Amino acid sequence: MTTTSAAAAARATVHGYPRQGPNRELKKAVEGYWKGRLTAGALRETAAELRRSTWRQLAGAGIHEVPTGDFSYYDHVLDTSVMVGAIPARHRAAVEADALDGYFAMARGTQDAAPLEMTKWFDTNYHYLVPELGPDTVFTAAPGKQLDEVREALALGLAPRPVLVGPVTYLLLAKPAPGVGAGFDPLTLLDRLLPVYASVLAGLRAAGAEWVQLDEPALVQDRTPAELNAVARAYRELGGTGDRPRLLVASYFDRLGEALPVLAKAPVDGLALDFTGPAAANLDDLAAVGGLHGKRLLAGVVSGRNVWINDFEKSLSTLGTLLGLAGRVDVSSSCSLLHVPLDAAAERDIDPQVARWLAFARQKTTEVVTLARGLAQGTDTIAAELAANRAGLASRAGSALTHDPSVRARAAAVTDADARRSQTYQERATAQRAHLRLPLLPTTTIGSFPQTPELRAARAGLRAGTVDADAYERRIEAEIREVVAFQEKAGLDVLVHGEPERNDMVQYFAEQLTGYLATQHGWVQSYGTRYVRPPVLAGDISRPEPMTVRWTAYAQSLTDRPVKAMLTGPVTMLAWSFVRDDQPLGETARQVALALRDEVNDLEAAGSPVIQVDEPALRETLPLRATARPAYLEWATEAFRLATSGVRPDTQVHTHMCYAEFGDVLQAIDDLDADVISLEAARSHMGIAAELAAAGYPREAGPGVYDIHSPRVPDEAETASLIERALRSVAAERLWINPDCGLKTRTWPEVRPALVHMTAAARRVRDRL
């Protein structure tokens, strides 16, 4: 590649960095503060030190402009609510009394004031706190946090680029405040919000920020013409103010689509675009609009969503094309690195041959810098890095882990018939009725029972080496005996074993499947101080031996009632892992499905008459753009059917989904061809049952009648009234009675009475029918 003047100016940056610190110092400090072990001053100092060390590390690696403001004690959308003064009325007094305590009150709630609602940030597993707005909302600028961080970075001699949630995305993510009708559209507040943003921007410029980044990821979703008009208006206004820093509008997670020409024309100084995954389409789209006309482009060529090394040659070719389409091209991560773990070099247990394929936040930062250098100074200046990158990619492509011929041959031989059960749903329902002989309104649970202190202690002991495998297994058996005995006594019709052997519904299976890797330090923020360590789906997936049969069979040996076996479905196995990027997701899902199919068949052979395959993530990995959804739903439902269709007609297949909002996937739920579905419904007062009925769902369904997300124990009458309500939508012959979700987060003193009330309520309604 030859260097041009545009190329020579290319620099490296990232959109944001993990907040946690190398040893999750932030989590420890915040939780310490909550418990009163740490003063506010000490918490602030820990946070400031973490920011400084992150910036120093970024600068030391060669990042030329450091992101500021992306740090957060809890969540950056909550920080934005604070920045624009959108404090819910119920929290105002607390915020006025003490800003920090008030902030945490909004995040976590207090005795008298509920927290803000939490929901997933686009299609990631990060959760943000949903702004609550209404016609009476008054915005006021409170840019203190943003200004402080700019000054902190300047004090280190660095160039800060504050990163804010953009005004349009902020409003699109908001919901009507309690008491405000659902018809209220927060976007109607745009004209009120823009002057506040303008004032924050002026303040940031005065503090010394040359550039400010406004994140507008909501624009990668399908937007109405009215919403696109709002975007044009917002940036015309913000871009038109005299006293402002240079503005960079950022998008990520998918292509910018119809919003691209709007922003390309807007009087802003730069755009950040994602060029990875589905967002790679931005390249052609950008060419189609004739480029950015002299604006700066932050080219997101290093994925902030996966854990794999970049393909340097591919990125350099993208960057080379982009040089002709913008005034200045800088190299960046595709989004904040918040969504990936901190440092792959900390993983000492991963085979070095595999570890060289991994890039976490630190490695991705170096990749961005290397690519910028290659772009600016010519690829011969990064010859060694290119060679190492090529070798890493070749090692991955040629590895036995990523290419298991028997797994590939089996997946390639799958036919449409393999993913279909041998009889229709109606025929199966008859066979299952004869086989299971359940009463009307059968009662069951979703799988897990409370994880007791004894069980947690045994698991910790096993990890620490103080409890041996035998003793641990005896503990599991004791838990199963207790769960089975309780369910018989409480009068449940279809029992479960309680899942005591599982730490996590994905990790448990990942640990037993070949092709998955576990990390030791691969923590990523899920919400607030909660971090998860997703397994890495690195290679071809196979099942060396049965994973759950032993525990399910043990439970069945203790009772005459049917025991329902529990598995995690293929889509959820992918959604809650880092997945490989070297083959289509559908291909990976098919491999996982085949491994699960063997497990399902083994469970049936071992005597399980009912098998549940959970797919709580089916809705959440729905692509952001509607055009990509049919293909996703096609492979997702096929994978579920492939996993479950190897059984006899009289074996009953259940599935389970939580996190409400199924509107977009009702047809897909039917396409799973499960016999029974259980759903979260208690909070929506059976809203989902009505939706399913309206969609003509023909199968059996168990809309949850016990809200397990609350410590409250509903009484028999309340549960009975929810059952009556469910009966308005689902015929008695097809209605199951169960809680909303698994019980593992609850305690026995809550679960015992709640389930006794549930079975009593079911009997009461049954008697009336």
What angle do the packed helices 76-83 and 144-155 form, to 10 degrees? 110
SS3 content of the chain, % helix, strand, coil (to 5): 50, 15, 40
Minimum Å gap between C-beta 84 and ligand GLN is: 34
Minimum Å gap between C-beta 745 and ligand GLN is: 9
Annotated binding-site residue? 25: yes
Q: Which helix (H) or strand (E) holds 50?
A: helix 40-61
Alpha helices (H) in 241-293, listed in sequence order = 259-265, 282-288
How far, in Å, CA of 733 to CA of 494, rounded? 16
For the beta carbon of residue 59, count every other beta carbon within 10 angstroms: 17
Q: Which helix (H) or strand (E) holds 103?
A: helix 99-108
Q: Where in 471-500 is the site for ligand GLN (CB under 6 A)?
A: 499
For the beta carbon of residue 627, count every other beta carbon within 10 angstroms: 11
What angle do the packed helices 361-377 and 40-61 form, to 10 degrees? 40
CB closer to ligand GLN, 303 vs 507: 507
Binding range to ligand GLN, per CB under 6 A, among 173-181, 410-418, 441-449, 475-483: 441-449
DSSP 521: S
DSSP 310: P
Is 257 a binding residue for ligand GLN by CB under 6 A? The answer is: no
Is 614 a binding residue for ligand GLN by CB under 6 A? The answer is: yes
DSSP 309: P
Which of ligand GLN, Zn ion, none interacts with 670 (beta carbon under 5 to 8 A by kind)?
Answer: none
CB closer to ligand GLN, 260 vs 676: 676
Lookup: tokens for 499: 């899942």
Is 742 a binding residue for ligand GLN by CB under 6 A? The answer is: yes
Lookup: tokens for 515: 């092709």
Is 248 a binding residue for ligand GLN by CB under 6 A? The answer is: no
Which of ligand GLN, Zn ion, none interacts with 596 (beta carbon under 5 to 8 A by kind)?
Answer: none
Residue type, 209: A
How far, in Å, CA of 650 to CA of 117, rounded? 42
Annotated catalytic residue: which of 293, 497, 521, 709?
709
Lookup: tokens for 284: 């052609």
How far, in Å, CA of 369 to CA of 61, rounded? 7
Which of ligand GLN, Zn ion, none interacts with 744 (beta carbon under 5 to 8 A by kind)?
Answer: ligand GLN
Minimum Å gap between C-beta 659 and Zn ion is: 8
Is 447 a binding residue for ligand GLN by CB under 6 A? The answer is: yes
Are 6 and 375 a contacting pair, CB within 8 Å? no
Among 220, 658, 722, 762, binds Zn ion (CB under 5 A): 658
CB closer to ligand GLN, 255 vs 564: 564
Q: What SS3 state is found at 738?
A: coil
Binding range to ligand GLN, per CB under 6 A, among 23-31, 200-208, 444-452, 531-539: 444-452
CB closer to ligand GLN, 102 vs 704: 704
Is 616 a binding residue for ligand GLN by CB under 6 A? The answer is: yes
Which of Zn ion, ligand GLN, none interacts with 428 (beta carbon under 5 to 8 A by kind)?
Answer: none
Annotated binding-site residue? 427: no
Q: Are strands 296-302 and 175-176 parallel, antiparallel or unpaired?
A: unpaired
Minimum Å gap between C-beta 657 and Zn ion is: 7
Query: Is-catalytic flag, 435?
Result: no
Binding range to ligand GLN, per CB under 6 A, among 373-381, 402-410, 434-442, 736-744: 736-744
Estimate to the nearest angstrom the gap between the alpha carbon of 547 and the chain centroid. 25
Is 656 a binding residue for ligand GLN by CB under 6 A? The answer is: yes
Estimate to the nearest angstrom the gap between the alpha carbon of 762 and the chain centroid. 35
Chain residues that interact with Zn ion, rule: CB under 5 A: 616, 658, 741
Give the catalytic positions in this structure.
Answer: 709
Please report, in range form, the residues annotated as the binding site: 24-27, 120, 446-448, 499, 576, 614, 620, 656, 658, 680, 741
Site residues (vs ligand GLN, CB under 6 A):
446-448, 499, 505, 566, 614, 616, 656, 658, 741-742, 744
